Amino acid sequence: MAEDTPVPKLNFEYWLNKAIEWGQATTLESQKDVCLHLPQLQEFLHEIYETLKHKDSVVAIQQFPLIGQLLGRLCWNPFVVGYDESQKTLMWCLCCLYSSEPQNPVELKANSWIRSLLCHLLSSSKWESNEAETSTFISTLGYTSADYYCHLVKNMVFSLVTELRGNQFNGLYIQGRVSASRVNAMSLFCLPLITLPDVTPLLETLLLYHGGASKEILSSQFLEAVNEAFLKKKISLPETAVFSLWLRHLPSLEKATLYLLDQLVSIQLNSLEEVACVIKDSLLPQAASHPAIFRIVNEIFKNALLETDGTPEVMTIIQVFTQLFLQAHQNENKQHKFPLKAYFPYHHQPLVTALLKRPFELPATHWSAHLKHISDILKALVEDTNVSSLADLFEIWFLVVRFGEWPDIAAEQLLKAAGEPDALLWLLAFYYCPQNENQQRTQTMVEAKAVYNHLMMLFNCTVLSVKALEAAVHSITDTEQCCNQHLLTHLLTNFLLFSSGGHTIAQEFIYHITETTDSSKEVCSLLTRTAYRINHNGEENERTVKLLNELLEKLTLKV
Amino acid sequence: MEALLELVEQLPALLAGARSALVRDWDSLTLDRALEWARYFQHLHDRFRTRPRLREVLGRRLRRAQLSPSLGFPHLGRCPQLLGLALLENRALPPTACRCLLRSLLQPSGAEAGPEPHSLALLARRKAASRLLALPSSPPLSPADMEPQLQAEAQLLLGRLREEGQEAESAGEAAGRPRWFSAVLEQLPTPRVFEVVAAALLGQGNGAERAGGGGLAGNSLDGNRASATGEECVAGPLLSWLVGNQERFSAFCLFLPGSLLASLAGHYSQLSRPYLDLLAGCGSHLLYDPLQGRWVKSCPDKAVLSWEELRERFTCLYQGSAVLRGQTQAALKLLKAHDGDFQVCGLSVWTDLLTEVEECLRKDAEC
């Protein structure tokens, strides 16, 4: 019966069969199966409602003759009724089928049946037989079933929570002897109820429950569903419960990390403050204080970086994440905190120690020396023949990426601080071009040095002419290797920001560069990072800050 | 103001009408009007909730309008639900009106997206939740661990008593037993009503201890104010109902387990004395059988405890608070003294009880 209905007949039959199969969901298999299909069923019910709502009840029944059966069966399945918004849609559908002017006994019967069904759902007077006495008692008191069930559910949750937490006798917690199968059943039965606020204490207790068994006793469907609800911000759980969830269920952790990356990549990176906010809300940096979680999140970041070929956005996200992780770690009050080095076990420890030092922990005058120190260690490490494999090189490079603040500061210090530029240039060359099988890095270093020298000559000129910088610009636009391009763009941008004469021509130069080399995203990223760093770490003169903001505004409009 | 009060007087009639066959003549307009009234009453409730004097005036007017006053000011707040559900279950409501009812109760509408549709969906969800969470429970570990359904009924009873108490307070009247009290309790079958009353008394006695299930039914934003005065007006009627009728009290004590009664006696001194007296009465019905070497019931009457039961009850009392234990011990000693103050067993039931109970507890303490 092909009509303008968006609900293909096939689906209807499918769900009707399912509903018949499930019955009232009394067996474990049927329960698991229902839980598996709840989200799709809800969508389907919604589609049905959309189709029904504009139709007359008679026409509706003609179109879906078996709809009564379907709705009837679903209303007796507590998993379906308890799930999210399914009960709303079920009731709306029933309303649509109620006829206001029944013409024949069949319609009268249908009406009566619909009312019975609704009374069953809402527990009006015809409460089930075992509740008959309760219902008269409660209505004499002047309450409704709404009040009763409100209390009942809270009491049941409290009772189950107490059972799981065991009893407290004289301050000692005695874990209740709750069997693994019972806990598993509890988790399955809670699945439809995850977004019901009354049940949150039970969710928390289940997530934190450790029965001593080596295998996971909570149903994995449950864990997935809780994670989903948490990511979509449909429920709020205490941190400990969320961490416990991720520790027990690896797919949830992976999903959470990928979800975060998706979120961040899709929003405009206007300011790193926003990015930091989103990352913090995800609770992942805080969770990462568990080394297992830290390791997995980093693996995922590494893969993301590889898949996107090292786009600056992803690199920035990883940097901010690492900073937030360090912050969270520092703020933790736990007695048995892992030392930071424990999170980077496979790396060269002196390098790790050097990178772990945050810039604000040192006075600005010491930054150059510290950077030289980092550069020296790196150089020795990288040029050591033992570390020749590509994988090892990548690991070292990835480590530096995570602490990307330092290369950024190196690029600034090159221009601002006096002293030997070689070490810092090498660091930057490595950052942008880690590989050296075909002497790419060496080449980069050479070109960078040339441009650098040129820029340093112009650094203190208060009046700059476009011509003076042209040579530098040409080397950017002409260069063959893109990693050279990145490095030189970085140097030039910094130059324009921080030099005495640069600010007057900054706008048009940057515009020109980003146009010819299609690097507006990259420059934007660089400027955003610089702004964030200045807000948090450094002091910078007003002129630079103002210029920075103007450039950002213009660039973000284009991007 | 007078017009307002006259309107409020209509509430009982409205609800009664909604439950009766009168609705046969309702059409969708009548229904809409009825629902509007309900919303209006709720609105009144919300406005005057924090104004005790006005509350009292409205409450008094309401009670005046009823033969057996069971509705009070708080019911104004619950009116939409009371009316909606009453109409839903009333089979006499004609289809056109019913369709209208369903639409406004359940379907989403942009205009009055009030709490109404949401709360009914929530009700359906919670009912399903109560099915799902009703896992077969492990045996309760303490008398405070009562069956959730029982607790819910007790909480509603407590809620109603509290509301009543608050109304009396704002009217400046002393809280007495509400007129609807006995009628309400009669709705429950005998064993059940004892459990509910016991649960209510325990819930009230534990007060702030009860973490999860302690919410008050309906609206009570001044729940915290119901401290000392609250206790009286809530526990008072319950206790006087229990203790006032000897038969009832005796049935109550015999039905409920010793541990629960000991708990109650610990909280309410009004109970400990009558309870001890009752136990004394039971004990006096025991005779010593020298052939079996134990105490047996003199008449096979159910309303009397056996030796073992009596001992168990006294043991529970001993395990209560220090005050309770002291009281119990004193009572037993007194009974023993009046009975001849024998030291040898087999002559006075009180001697034997005292000996065994204290012996039992000493052994427990040693392990």
Is B91 in the A-facing interface, judged by CB distances under 8 Å? yes
Q: What phi and psi, each to the nearest 5 degrees, are found at residue A214?
A: -80, -30
Q: Where are the domains of chain A?
A: 12-122, 452-558
Residue A281 distance to chain B (closest CA, Å): 28
Say how far apart CA A551 and CA A531 lie, in whole Å.
11
The contacts of residue B214 (CB under 8 Å, 6+ apart) are B155, B203, B208
Q: With beta carbons under 8 A apart, name residues in chain B contacting A92.
A: 106-108
Nearest in space to B37 (alpha carbons), one of B83, B96, B95, B86? B83
H-helix or E-strand containing A167? strand A167-169
CB contact under 8 A, B96 and A100: yes
Task: Say yes or no to pLDDT of A170 above 70.
Answer: no
Q: With 0-12 CB in 10 A as exposed, 13-18 as middle and 19+ as buried, what is A201? A: middle
CB contact under 8 A, B187 and A148: no
Nearest in space to A204 (alpha carbons), one of A186, A182, A177? A186
Residue A83 distance to chain B (closest CA, Å): 7
CB contact under 8 A, A98 and B95: yes
A102-to-A94, A97, A107, A349, B34 alpha-carbon distances in Å? 15, 11, 5, 82, 23
Is A546 in the B-facing interface, judged by CB distances under 8 Å? no
Task: Say yes or no to pLDDT of A460 above 90.
Answer: no
What is the 8-class DSSP label of residue A477? Answer: H
* Nearest residue of B to residue A127, measured between CA atoms: B89
SS (H, E, C) A9-77: HHHHHHHHHHHHHHCCCCCHHHHHHHHHHHHHHHHHHHHHHHHHCCCCHHHHHHHCCCHHHHHHHHHCC
Among B81, B138, B145, whose Cβ lies nearest the Cβ of A146?
B81
- Section A262-283 average pLDDT: 87
Amino acid identity of residue B269, one-letter, is S
CB contact under 8 A, A144 and B187: no
- Section A390-419 average pLDDT: 88
Task: Say yes or no to pLDDT of B286 above 70.
Answer: yes
List the 151-170 stretch of A: residues with Cβ below 8 A of B. Answer: 151-163, 167
* Nearest residue of B to residue A164, measured between CA atoms: B138
Among B98, B103, B148, whose Cβ lies nearest the Cβ of A152?
B148
Mean pLDDT lowest among A430-434, B145-149, B344-348: B145-149
Say how far apart CA B90 and CA A116 lie, in whole Å.
11
A455-to-A78, A182, A458, A494, A545 alpha-carbon distances in Å? 73, 72, 5, 10, 21
What is the pLDDT, as a whole number, of residue B142?
Answer: 54
CB contact under 8 A, A150 and B157: no
Nearest in space to A26 (alpha carbons), one of A86, A83, A77, A81? A77
CB A353 within 8 A of CB A309: no
- Section A105-118 average pLDDT: 91
* Nearest residue of A to residue B216, measured between CA atoms: A151
Work out the pLDDT band at B164, boundaries 50, 70, 90: confident
A410-to-A404, B39, B335 alpha-carbon distances in Å? 10, 69, 94
Q: With beta carbons under 8 A apart, name residues in chain A contacting B149.
A: 134, 152
Tokens of B183: 């009628």
Note the ipTM here: 0.87
- Most confident segment among A180-194, A257-271, A484-498, B170-184: A180-194
Say how far apart CA A300 and CA A108 lie, in whole Å.
61
Task: Say yes or no to pLDDT of B221 above 80.
Answer: no
Q: With beta carbons under 8 A apart, name residues in chain B contacting A200.
A: none
What is the pLDDT, as a whole number, of residue B113?
Answer: 43
Beta strands in chain B (DSSP E): 286-289, 294-297
Nearest in space to A403 (alpha carbons), one of A356, A370, A364, A371? A356
The contacts of residue A156 (CB under 8 Å, 6+ apart) are B129, B130, B133, B134, B148
Is A428 in the B-facing interface, judged by CB distances under 8 Å? no
Best mutation target, B41, B123, B145, B160, to test chain A (most A CBs within 10 A): B123
Residue A159 distance to chain B (closest CA, Å): 8
